[in-house]
Amino acid sequence: MSQNENSNKTASDYVGDYLAVLKHERRLSDHTLKAYQRDIKKLLDFFDSKGVLLWQGINPHNVRLFAASLNAKGMNANSIKRILSSGRGLANYLIKCGILKNNPFDDVRAPKGEKRLPKTLSVDQIVSLVELDADDPLSYRDKAMLELFYSSGLRLSELCGIDLNDLDLAESIVRVRGKGSKERDLPVGREANQAIRNWLLQRNALPIKDFEALFISKLGKRISTRNVQERVKYWAKRQGVEMHVSPHMLRHSFASHVLESSGELRAVQELLGHANISTTQIYTHLDFQHLAQVYDDAHPRARGKSSQNAKPEIKNKPE
């Protein structure tokens, strides 16, 4: 691209070009692209309000002021980190276009925030949730979705995107498309397998319009993410699970329960479709919390009040 062509482009043009690159080269979803667009808009609105000249006027000092303004508004550290990451990606694109020489975001870090461990359900809560009494096509569908969420640790978008030809119930395998359209084959548990079979027997009772989709709405179209969220929330309340339950919580529960039982962090990483092991390591903290609770409840000199006065029971005298 010539310098003259560059000079005729507006900030919005460059943002549009960058989002097009993300869509076609990185194959990001529309949902993710909209998040990038919102983040970049916040950044550009701030610079515009400060009279900063785009793009040469953006420097590390201005970026730090931007991050500080987000922090002052009460935005959490993870959100600020995500917005700065969006800006960093855009700046790298502008460097490739010859608009910037250096990336002003490289030396700017978001404030450190408190790490929040994902909430999970206990095994008993999971059982209460998935063992619903199905008596019509929609409840059979919902039972199959809940079982599959917990059986295979799916993301919400992955479950909604499953087609009939992605299933191999004879081999108990489902193929899903994760982030970046990366495909992976996952095992389907016995209960989930049977729940899906039961749903398929009921599926034709609905006015099917999307014949490829595994899960459809009552109108026959591929089920939406919002619909699934509402159905999970509905069944959690109806089944007596006294906490807000989301599809992502079922995924977290799957991961923590598998790790707790197996200790195989790499296997959990592959099942979840995480690109980096560091993302999966959050579940080691959940596992440690469980072990710490067991210790507190059982050890005679642990912190638990009930255990402070307990004496160990010796059934067999050592020889």
CB-CB neighbours of 296 under 10 Å = 14
- Establish whether 301 is a catalytic residue: no
Task: Give the C-alpha separation, 300 to 296, whole Å.
Answer: 8
Is 177 among the residues known to form the active site?
no
| Gap between the Cα atoms of 145 and 154, Å rounded | 10
Judge whether 36 counts as a catalytic residue: no
First to last CA, the chain: 85
Catalytically annotated residue among 143, 155, 252, 257: 155
Please pick, among 179, 221, 222, 233, the residue that the annotation labels catalytic: 179
Q: What is the sign of the dihedral through the CA atoms of 297, 303, 309 and 310?
A: positive
Among candidate residues 1, 4, 85, 76, the one with its CA nearest the CA of residue 40: 85
Active site annotation includes 18 = no
Please pick, among 18, 36, 140, 283, the residue that the annotation labels catalytic.
Answer: 283
At a CB cut-off of 8 Å and minimum separation 6, what does 23 contact?
Answer: 33
**181: alpha, beta or left, given left = phi > 0 and alpha = psi -120 to 50?**
left
Q: Select which of 177, 203, 231, 251 is catalytic.
A: 251
Query: Rounded distance, CA 318 to CA 307, Å?
Result: 24
Cis-peptide into 55, omega within 30 deg:
yes
231: annotated active-site residue? no
Q: Reply yes or no on whether 244 is catalytic.
A: no
- Could you list the active site residues? 155, 179, 248, 251, 274, 283
